[in-house]
């Protein structure tokens, strides 16, 4: 999910290629491992005892608060409190330890994911043998979350026109991103400097020790693969069984990540278009070319003529929210029938309610107009991890042709959305780099060939960097692969988690 107004890395791409990833990788250095011995200044964190209690709104789960240093370089400067939860192994069978899960984002609630999915829907044999565990990354959800705008201000922000037609509209885009950034900076001048992926990975090592595990066992999806790979790079000797599903390529710049992800959404959209024209109720035409042309025409019409919706706050469906709604549906092919209906309502009934619902789900906005902190944390982490894709609006505008080449339908909006970190109040601390994790136990990297958000060649790139990686390929649609209906994928990953057996080299699974 990388540009704040559009993308969550939470994707095989026809634009971009593995050669592009290699070119970026050639100029990067590898992430260095931390010393094997834990500094004495961190001992109080590594040796803390968690006070577990029953979670108030999640029967069967326990919750706790873990302390970590706000600044690992200066532990004496203060703590950050992190929300942790677990569901203990149910048996039968010998307990294998803790299995940490992360759904991506950045900014997604790992605890919410544990309570709502992983802790109850992961394969029963996995839940029987592992304590299922999650920690909300710093700055997200229950772990001192950043919140940059009010609900009303966020409503305005999400409706910002990201296809500006004149200087006035370009100025509005800049003003929107500046207001977002200023809201974050004014509220969290210190915290914003310490919610990077490297720091979140170090938090996971503290949790590993506190739980009593010698090695980390972990399943990370989407951005969670970057978090897991970063952990492996920092602590290769503490890697247990790591599954990185829907992988990112850590060697890419923010500009390249956004552009290649844009191509990933185009690939997914073409797959949707092919499916749409095979259905009787496709509202966008009878050929795949017509689907793209007509959707783009709909977006252009909504730019000046937004549609009414059933929203109690009176929000209308303009181009920006409609684009976000369609993008949201690309993450899961199971959403395509509902997307066809929403598009039918928009085109034939002039009702934008269905597409607005998709956009609200993407932004995690509830019916009361309250947003989760997902989008704030997403920007805060991304803008700290990498230098901004563009420094000025002129640079974003100049990149539009490249983004439109990557995606004729979404490219222009996503080029402008990539301006989000230009005005960030905190300088980035990260940079593109290879992650090799030399000496680590086998790591399973999973890539889906038509993944919209993390293009397949990113998985191949990460697998080629990690010294012990095995690439597992899912030939199919949707974002990530584990637990999405492929018996082949699930059986392969389950065997690895339960017995430590990685997939054979070149293992591929096809969509059922």
- Which residues carry out catalysis? 222, 451, 479
Pairwise CA distance, residues 375 & 124, whole Å? 32
User: Smallest Cα–Cα separation from 209: which of 411, 99, 47, 381?
Assistant: 47
Pairwise CA distance, residues 416 & 172, whole Å? 12
Specify the DSSP element, H or E, that contains 244. Answer: strand 239-245
Residue 123's alpha-carbon distances to 126, 127, 337, 446, 498, in angstroms, are 5, 7, 27, 18, 11
Please give the distance of CA 172 from its chain centroid, rounded to a whole number: 27
Find the Cα–Cα–Cα–Cα dihedral 55, 56, 57, 63, rounded to 10°.
-20
Q: Which residues contact 296 (CB under 8 A, 6 or more apart)?
A: 408, 409
Which DSSP string do the residues of 7-36 spell out, in sequence order?
A: -------SSS-HHHHHHHHHT-PBPPPPPS
Q: Which residues contact 469 (CB under 8 A, 6 or more apart)?
A: 442, 443, 444, 445, 462, 463
Contact by Cβ (8 Å): 351, 307: yes
User: Smallest Cα–Cα separation from 115: which of 54, 199, 197, 204?
Assistant: 54
Place of tokens 């990686």: 469
Pairwise CA distance, residues 480 & 448, whole Å? 6
Pairwise CA distance, residues 414 & 260, whole Å? 11
Place of tokens 């203060």: 78
Please give the backbone phi and psi of residue 77, each rounded to the nearest 5 degrees, phi first: -80, -5
Residue 385's alpha-carbon distances to 79, 162, 197, 230, 432, in angstroms, are 21, 24, 7, 11, 9
Contact by Cβ (8 Å): 480, 279: no
Question: Residues in the chain, how many?
Answer: 512
Pairwise CA distance, residues 57 & 80, whole Å? 23
User: Smallest Cα–Cα separation from 473: which of 501, 504, 503, 448?
Assistant: 448
β-bridge mates for residue 443, sequence order: 242, 469
């Amino acid at each position: 999910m990388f540009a704040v107004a559009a993308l969550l890395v939470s994707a095989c791409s026809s634009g971009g290629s593995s050669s592009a990833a290699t070119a970026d990788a050639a100029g990067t250095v590898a992430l260095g491992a931390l010393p094997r011995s834990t500094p004495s200044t961190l001992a109080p964190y590594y040796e803390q005892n968690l006070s577990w209690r029953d979670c108030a709104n999640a029967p069967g789960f326990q919750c706790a608060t873990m302390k970590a240093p706000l600044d690992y370089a200066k532990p004496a400067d203060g703590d950050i409190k992190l929300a942790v939860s677990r569901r203990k192994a149910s048996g039968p069978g010998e307990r294998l330890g803790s299995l940490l899960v992360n759904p991506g984002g950045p900014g997604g609630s790992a605890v919410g994911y544990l309570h709502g999915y992983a802790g109850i829907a992961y394969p029963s044999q996995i839940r029987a043998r592992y304590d299922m565990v999650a920690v909300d990354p710093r700055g997200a959800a229950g772990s001192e979350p950043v919140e940059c705008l009010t609900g009303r201000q966020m409503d305005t922000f999400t409706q910002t026109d990201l296809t500006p037609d004149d200087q006035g509209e370009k100025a509005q885009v800049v003003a929107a991103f500046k207001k977002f950034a200023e809201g974050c900076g004014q509220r969290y001048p210190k915290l914003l400097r310490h919610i990077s992926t490297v720091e979140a990975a170090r938090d996971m090592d503290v949790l590993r020790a506190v739980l009593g595990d010698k090695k980390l066992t972990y399943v990370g999806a989407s951005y969670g693969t970057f978090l897991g790979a970063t952990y492996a790079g920092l602590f290769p000797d503490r890697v247990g069984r790591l599954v990185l599903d829907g992988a990112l390529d850590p060697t890419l710049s923010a500009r390249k990540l956004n552009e290649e992800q844009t191509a990933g959404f185009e690939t997914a959209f073409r797959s949707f278009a092919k499916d749409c024209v095979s259905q009787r109720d496709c509202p966008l035409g009878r050929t795949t070319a017509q689907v793209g042309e007509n959707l783009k025409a709909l977006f252009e019409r909504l730019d000046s003529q937004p549609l009414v919706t059933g929203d109690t706050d009176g929000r209308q469906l303009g181009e920006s929210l409609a684009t976000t709604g369609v993008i949201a549906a690309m993450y899961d092919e199971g959403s395509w029938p509902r997307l066809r209906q929403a598009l039918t309502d928009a085109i034939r009934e002039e009702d934008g309610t269905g597409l607005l619902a998709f956009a609200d789900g993407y932004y995690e906005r509830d019916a009361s107009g309250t947003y989760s902190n997902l989008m704030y944390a997403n920007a805060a982490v991304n803008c700290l991890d990498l230098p901004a894709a563009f420094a000025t609006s002129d640079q974003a505008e100049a990149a539009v042709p490249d983004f439109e080449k990557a995606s004729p339908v979404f490219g222009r909006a996503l080029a402008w959305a990539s301006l989000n970190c230009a005005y960030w109040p905190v300088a980035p601390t990260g940079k593109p780099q290879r992650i090799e994790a030399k000496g680590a136990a086998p790591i399973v990297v999973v890539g889906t060939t038509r993944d919209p958000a993390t293009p397949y060649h990113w998985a191949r790139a990460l697998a080629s960097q990690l010294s012990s990686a095995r690439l597992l390929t899912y030939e199919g649609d949707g974002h990530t692969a584990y637990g999405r209906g492929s018996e082949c994928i699930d059986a392969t990953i389950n065997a690895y988690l339960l017995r430590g057996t990685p997939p054979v080299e070149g293992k591929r699974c096809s969509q059922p």
